[in-house]
Structure 1
Amino acid sequence: MGLLDRIQQTDSRSDEPDLVSHYRDRLLEEIDLDELSRLKPTQRRARLERILSTLLSADGPVLASRDRSVLIQRVVDDALGLGVLEPLLADESVTEIMVNGPRDVFVERLGRVQRVATTFASEEQLYQTIDRIVSTVNRRVDESSPMVDARLPTGERVNVIIPPLALDGPSLTIRRFPRPYRLGELVEKGSLDVRAATLLGACVRGKLNVMIAGGTGTGKTTFLNALSGLIPAHERIVTIEDAAELSLQQEHVVRLESRPANVEGKGQVTIRDLVRNSLRMRPDRIVVGEVRGGETLDMLQAMNTGHEGSLATVHANSALDAMGRLETLATMSELELPVATLRDQINSAIDVIVHLERGADGTRRVREVAALVSRRREDYQLAPLMTFEPDPVGPDRKVTGRFVIHPMPEDLRLRLQRAGETLAPHEPSGIAP
């Protein structure tokens, strides 16, 4: 077995020496940690690579160029970053990394989940990686606290769950945030067409309250970010998220992020706390990354008390299901309101629902745009503004179809007209390039 194979296949049950661990320990003996901490990340990596190259040359024998490069990268990744996961994090096509124990690593690429050859040398090495992640956010994971949500300094969201809750060993999930897309780019990708984009652009600029609904992995945050790009630049925007994913380009943006309790169980700041605080910040728009609890009622009340043009996302399987979901979430507030009162709040607050769907081929697109036309305490009634009509799925599972525009309810058309939006669905004006 060659050196490259030994580096890539080192196993805790093998008699082969763990070269990565060996040279990582040697490297740590040679460096000045105080000096290293004062360097920029790129300078830090370059310094370690030079020191390690010197160590390898001194040890001999001369290694093949490829073997030497792989070993240096693995050792430096292990010393500075997340070890064997660093190449996956550097791969821009990877949107999710799922580690199911030391031997099973999966990634999501282009909407499809696939297994990769990457493995950890041992369960201990996986635990070391997990500890490195949670320590950066002043958290710990052990039997007394076996579940942790955290965020890497580079922005990726991380979830960790370990035994005894995870029966087959520690599980690590890293969600990478895709680069922010403009609405015009989503049109080019086929997520919606020009007419639907023009319609939604008018709704955002016309200060309608828009709720984006969809299941896990349908691209709700990506779409929310794209829609928020159409908010006029002069408006004050407050964004509220569980983990900061949005990347708004406007000048006047205040970004708020919730905070979990510390190891003593204190210091928690919830989404609901932030929604309530945002009302005192004189926002023109409130953008909530996802409503998932009692903050839903606060968000609805904000929409009903002059904070028009707000945007939010919610987990739901259809546009109509989103209304029932909002109703359920609003009951999680400490205020015990009758269902009829909650229905009145939702009917008064929400103007448009955008439902996203992930196709059998992994593509994400807008399945439906609907206006909520029910009033007061009526049962929820939706009027379709745009629907995607798919063709029958063939053997290749490729999803094709067409976007169909439906007549707009007269009261909604008049609201947009009063806001200065003369909707012309065939014209692409107002879509960010």
Structure 2
Amino acid sequence: MLNVLVTTPRGAENVFECTIDSCAIGKSDENLIILQGWSVAKRHAAIHRRADGVYVENLDPKGNTEVNGKQASLYGPLKPGDVIHICGYELRVMDLDEPAPPPVTATVASVASAIAQPAAVAAPAMVPTVTEEVEAVRDPGHHQIWIGLLKRIHTELIKQMDLRRIDIASQSEEELRRNTGLMLVEIVRNDKTIPEGFDRDLLVKQVQDEVVGLGPLEDLLADDAVTEIMVNRFDEIFVERKGRLTKSDITFTSDQAVVSAIERIVTPLGRRIDESSPMVDARLKDGSRVNAVIPPLALKGANITIRKFAKSKLHGEDLIKFGSMTPTMLAFLRTIVEQKANIIISGGTGSGKTTLLNVLSNYIPDDERIVTVEDAAELKLSQPNLVGLESRPPNAEGKGAVLIRDLVKNCLRMRPDRIVVGECRGGEALDMLTAMNTGHDGSLTTAHANTPRDCLARVEVMVMMAGLDLPIRAIREQISSAVRFIVQQNRFSCGSRKVTHVTEITGMEGDMIQMQDIFLFKQEGFGADGKVKGRHISTGAVPDFYQDLAARGMDVDMSIFQGGEIRR
């Protein structure tokens, strides 16, 4: 197998895998490595693995193939650090220490020998010393030897499955994982080139995760401390822990491994990702949200963004424990949900809108019928009379798409007591307002905005996206009569998430929508630990909604609105 790292003139990188010992390069579709550019020949060059090493051969009549800045007709054997230049592209052959078939990693063998005879020998500057290689084997996170070994075992597994004519399609995920695990254990046990410094169990696990699961992401998904996973390219993965981003030590073996993981996520959901549809939204089995983009849109290589959901469903008490709100605020929010106030949860990306929506939606009484509408199903409600709807992207012919707006219109015919829309992004905002104004009180949704006032402006813009030429005053009248409360959730630079505003919409005055803040978060700088400091306060304003409840004879606690800091 040959692995070639290609760097484009713009700096983007990609790894090409050649399962045979000859790799053609050029701009023709017949080549494994396709380079763009008027000066690139249809069949420009080729890389060959021979018994004594790897060679590069120029096939361009103009001779536009260079190695280390010098023209080359046939150059080899290549050494680590050699760079092939073709019309602005840079190509580097990886795993140069791996000889011709049978595929045995010579570097791994040399490490095994070095372990048996630990006398160190000085090496050239570009080649790691034996001691460095042994240390890399014991900590294999970023080293080419480990990656090359994973690829070789993966290839051997596929070969064994082909020889045994295993029908993968007929096996469940559990059966496939069990069978591949047994085969991998056998392959690793019979591989005499793996030195003692290697963790063989880890080898089996990583190859099995890449074949059956999501590769190195499996460990990150199992880590409760990780809340978000961002794969920028196969060897560049960032994670969020406690609101802070850090680079992870783990990597995929190749860009194709990332694409394979994406396909394993989206295929069971009836979605697809390919060159004609290079972006996709999906979800994992636990409800975690997934977004993926592949080349040509993703310049650095296929990327994945996963927003993990907690394994145990969060409750309002958890938000109090995290400092997102006070017990008084939670009791108020629970009351307005139970008493059918229409609510928009506003906030920026990653501020916790969906989590708060999930918590508040669970306060809807069990005797009411709920219809949820989402792009990718994330809400986890426990009420018995619940119907969940999910949008659908177009098929390969560009047909069959079902938009959020279509689902919101349809759910009005489903006799809902409550409509919960995961997020309003466009013209569905008009349909949502219409539903709120026509007897579907107690509906909830989320929107992207930085403040409650910004949220109203964003809703206005989304209504305009419905394509109806409505005057701005008519839109604002619809908003003021439909929406009763806006709950603003913000994510601070330290990573903490807090409810910063609970705001009531009180009506129209002239052409302006009138609002009053009920609860606020007053920031008071940052503590020694870098966390935001502050306190939740009551503004002293009594919401009209509570006064209406009191007028209807309900026993409501008005003392919570006395101005000042809210008791925890």
Match runs of 1:287-306 below 5 Å? 287-306=420-439
Match runs of 1:243-254 below 5 Å? 243-254=376-387
TM-fit CA distance, 1:286:
0.6
2:360 to 203, 206, 227: 227
TM-fit CA distance, 1:7:
5.8
TM-fit CA distance, 1:72:
1.3
Paired letter, 1:126:
V
2:462 maps to 329
**Take 2:164 and 2:275, find their aligned partners in 1: how far apart are those partners?**
34
Q: C-alpha offsets along residues 312-364 of structure 1, whole Å, 9 cap, x if unaligned?
A: 10000001111111111011112221110000000000111100011221011
**Take 2:335 and 2:150, find their aligned partners in 1: how far apart are those partners?**
64
2:235 to 79, 103, 127: 103
TM-fit CA distance, 1:289:
0.7
2:178 to 23, 39, 46: 46
**Take 2:500 and 2:543, find their aligned partners in 1: how far apart are those partners?**
23
Matching of residue 178 in structure 1 with residue 310 in structure 2: yes
**Greater mean alpha carbon deviation, residues 146-155 or residues 8-17:** 8-17
**Take 1:288 and 1:181, find their aligned partners in 2: how far apart are those partners?**
19
Q: 1:335 to 1:15 in 2, by over 3 A?
A: closer
**Take 2:553 and 2:482, find their aligned partners in 1: how far apart are those partners?**
17
Q: Indicate conservation of the 8 Å contact 2:371/2:389, yes or no.
A: yes
Report how many residues are paired. Answer: 426
**Take 2:147 and 2:185, find their aligned partners in 1: how far apart are those partners?**
26
TM-fit CA distance, 1:139:
4.2
> Scaled by the length of structure 1, what TM-score is found?
0.89
**Greater mean alpha carbon deviation, residues 64-73 or residues 271-280:** 64-73
**Take 2:179 and 2:555, find their aligned partners in 1: how far apart are those partners?**
57
1:420 to 544, 550, 554: 554
Q: Indicate conservation of the 8 Å contact 1:24/1:76, yes or no.
A: no
Paired letter, 1:149:
D
Q: Indicate conservation of the 8 Å contact 1:161/1:171, yes or no.
A: yes
**Take 1:151 and 1:37, find their aligned partners in 2: how far apart are those partners?**
24
TM-fit CA distance, 1:153:
4.2
**Greater mean alpha carbon deviation, residues 188-197 or residues 87-96:** 87-96
**Take 1:304 and 1:107, find their aligned partners in 2: how far apart are those partners?**
42
Match runs of 1:85-234 below 5 Å? 85-179=217-311, 180-234=313-367
1:430 maps to none
**Take 1:15 and 1:254, find their aligned partners in 2: how far apart are those partners?**
48
Matching of residue 257 in structure 1 with residue 390 in structure 2: yes
**Take 2:190 and 2:310, find their aligned partners in 1: how far apart are those partners?**
43
**Take 2:177 and 2:233, find their aligned partners in 1: how far apart are those partners?**
28
**Take 1:6 and 1:28, find their aligned partners in 2: how far apart are those partners?**
30
Matching of residue 363 in structure 1 with residue 496 in structure 2: yes
Of Structure 1 and Structure 2, the greater helix share is in 1
**Take 1:125 and 1:355, find their aligned partners in 2: how far apart are those partners?**
40
TM-fit CA distance, 1:184:
1.7
**Take 2:505 and 2:148, find their aligned partners in 1: how far apart are those partners?**
66
2:544 maps to 411
**Greater mean alpha carbon deviation, residues 165-174 or residues 225-234:** 165-174
TM-fit CA distance, 1:212:
0.4
Q: Indicate conservation of the 8 Å contact 2:137/2:146, yes or no.
A: no
Matching of residue 71 in structure 1 with residue 195 in structure 2: no
Match runs of 1:344-383 below 5 Å? 344-375=477-508, 378-383=511-516
Q: 1:204 to 1:154 in 2, by over 3 A?
A: closer
Q: Indicate conservation of the 8 Å contact 2:499/2:521, yes or no.
A: yes
SS across alignment from 2:216:
helix
**Greater mean alpha carbon deviation, residues 92-101 or residues 403-412:** 403-412
TM-fit CA distance, 1:63:
7.2
**Greater mean alpha carbon deviation, residues 380-389 or residues 150-159:** 150-159
**Take 1:124 and 1:238, find their aligned partners in 2: how far apart are those partners?**
39
Q: Indicate conservation of the 8 Å contact 2:137/2:145, yes or no.
A: no
**Take 1:15 and 1:272, find their aligned partners in 2: how far apart are those partners?**
49
TM-fit CA distance, 1:38:
4.1
Q: Indicate conservation of the 8 Å contact 1:355/1:367, yes or no.
A: yes
**Take 1:212 and 1:201, find their aligned partners in 2: how far apart are those partners?**
14
**Take 1:304 and 1:378, find their aligned partners in 2: how far apart are those partners?**
19
1:398 to 526, 531, 551: 531
Task: Name structure 2 gaps, 5 residues minimum.
Answer: 1-132, 562-568
TM-fit CA distance, 1:126:
2.8
**Take 1:49 and 1:425, find their aligned partners in 2: how far apart are those partners?**
63
**Take 1:63 and 1:419, find their aligned partners in 2: how far apart are those partners?**
79
TM-fit CA distance, 1:172:
2.1
TM-fit CA distance, 1:293:
0.4
Task: Name structure 1 gaps, 5 residues minimum.
Answer: 428-433
1:82 maps to 214
Q: Indicate conservation of the 8 Å contact 1:348/1:376, yes or no.
A: no
Provide the alpha-carbon RMSD of the alignment.
2.8
Q: 1:93 to 1:15 in 2, by over 3 A?
A: closer
**Take 2:521 and 2:528, find their aligned partners in 1: how far apart are those partners?**
21
TM-fit CA distance, 1:240:
0.7
**Greater mean alpha carbon deviation, residues 161-170 or residues 377-386:** 161-170
SS across alignment from 1:375:
strand
SS across alignment from 1:388:
strand
Q: C-alpha offsets along residues 197-237 of structure 1, whole Å, 9 cap, x if unaligned?
A: 11111111111111100000000000000011111111111
**Take 1:126 and 1:270, find their aligned partners in 2: how far apart are those partners?**
28
Greater relative CO, 1 or 2 (CA 8 Å, sep 6+): 1
TM-fit CA distance, 1:365:
0.9
SS across alignment from 1:392:
strand
**Take 1:426 and 1:14, find their aligned partners in 2: how far apart are those partners?**
60
Of Structure 1 and Structure 2, the greater strand share is in 2
Q: 1:357 to 1:158 in 2, by over 3 A?
A: same
| Structure number with bigger Rg | 2
> Scaled by the length of structure 2, what TM-score is found?
0.69
Paired letter, 2:487:
V
Paired letter, 1:170:
A
